[in-house]
Amino acid sequence: MLVTSQFLWVLFGCIVGVLLGRFALSVRSVASFCRRILPALTALKSYSVILTDCLLKSEVHDQTLSKGKRTLERALLERYSPYPEGIYKVGFNPGLRAGLRFFLVHLECVVELYFAISSTIILHENLKLSESIALQEAMNSEEAQHFKNALGYLADPIVTCMRQNESLLSVLIVFCETHAVTEVSAKDYVSDVTDLEERLRQIIPQNLALLDLSPSSLRVASLVRDIKEVRQVLLQLLASLPRVS
């Protein structure tokens, strides 16, 4: 009888331990993850604001853009910031690994998309950037002018989409700071992208063969595609946010 009682208490202790590890410890792990991911999200939003300002002013300041990029890159390195690279290592908590890795992979995808957007803008603006000057000189002047005109025509819807993307980044930042998800269901995160794609169709060839023959059209299309993909990935990240009490 005594053995049975002791066994029941041991079993009860195991159950309590499992429940604590499953819920209480998981909550603390998510909170720790939020604190460590916050610098990267903040740097990413700042970099997005810089790119949006470049589109608004039709110019890019080399030092400002380079500084923003370096800050973002350092925020993604564990030796310079609290970025949780350890989540990718073998042996990390199996109960949390899949969800946190999902978040990191998608966040890094957004970073790559922003770098692609930056490269597209820099390549075609008449900037001070030495690496872009040689590329511009190699381009046909007519193609360069075509891109400039297209970017000017698309500037307003592009800036609107970029601002909306920044608002989604703000929601992620607020979650990491307060563990509260800002209500976004009433927001419209579709019509601005639809408007941008509609404008794009008005200025580039619809025939894919003709699109390949027009480098400027291809780059405009890739710019719009990257902005749209940023939106899609950010919405996926918002949908994955856990509820932390």
> What does the domain layout of the chain look like in residue ranges?
37-240
- Write out pLDDT tens, residues 4-50: 554 444 444 444 334 334 433 345 677 888 888 999 999 999 999 99
- Write out pLDDT tens, residues 86-144: 777 766 656 566 778 888 889 999 999 999 998 887 754 444 444 444 455 555 566 67
- pLDDT in the model for residue 2: 43
37 vs 78: CA distance, rounded Å: 10
Q: For residue 94, give the amino acid letter.
A: P
73 vs 83: CA distance, rounded Å: 11
Closest C-alpha to 236, from 55, 110, 120: 110
- Phi first, then psi: what are they for 214, rounded to 5°? -120, 95
63 vs 149: CA distance, rounded Å: 26
Q: How much is the pTM?
A: 0.77
Structure tokens at 3: 């053995």
172 vs 185: CA distance, rounded Å: 15
143 vs 209: CA distance, rounded Å: 17
- pLDDT in the model for residue 150: 83
- pLDDT in the model for residue 244: 52
Within 8 A by CB and 6+ apart from 48, the residues are 114, 162, 165, 166, 169
How is 125-149 classified by DSSP, letter by letter?
S--S-HHHHHHHHHS-HHHHHHHHH
Cα 120–Cα 169–Cα 219 angle in degrees, nearest 5 = 15
- Write out pLDDT tens, residues 201-218: 888 766 555 555 577 778
- pLDDT in the model for residue 209: 56
